[in-house]
Amino acid sequence: MLSPEEIRVASEALGSDAVVWDGVSSTLSTASSATGSMRSSDAAFCWKGDELFAQYTEIVEAVSTYLSDGASAASDGAQALRDVRDLFIAREDETVSTINGAWEVQL
């Protein structure tokens, strides 16, 4: 069984890691929004033709989608770390309670 100090350190580490992944999610979300705003018009590509405009649009949409998906995955990862931390603490408290109960004198 872990000591209270080890439990505290482990839960703080999981929480800190979750904050890092929240930051990654935020950065990817910002990049996705910025990429999504890189739309152009047919006029900007009129000298190169519709095919180049279509390819450019597909690339911008693909990159924006990948960044958005990455932001969601990072956010989900942060939440999973918090869930593990909470479960870890709950199970540890439950284990300590059970062990302490086993040593209580029954009258």
* Main-chain dihedrals φ then ψ at residue 6, nearest 5 degrees: -65, -40
Q: Report how far residue 61's alpha carbon sits from residue 25's, in angstroms, rounded to the nearest whole number.
A: 18
Between the two ends of the chain, the Cα-to-Cα distance in Å is 28
Q: What is the pLDDT of residues 4-63, one digit of tens each?
A: 788 888 889 999 999 999 999 999 999 999 998 887 766 666 666 777 778 888 999 999
CA distances from 104 to 1, 10, 91, 97, 100 (A): 18, 29, 20, 11, 7
Q: What is the pLDDT of residues 66-93, one digit of tens each?
A: 999 999 999 999 999 999 999 888 887 6
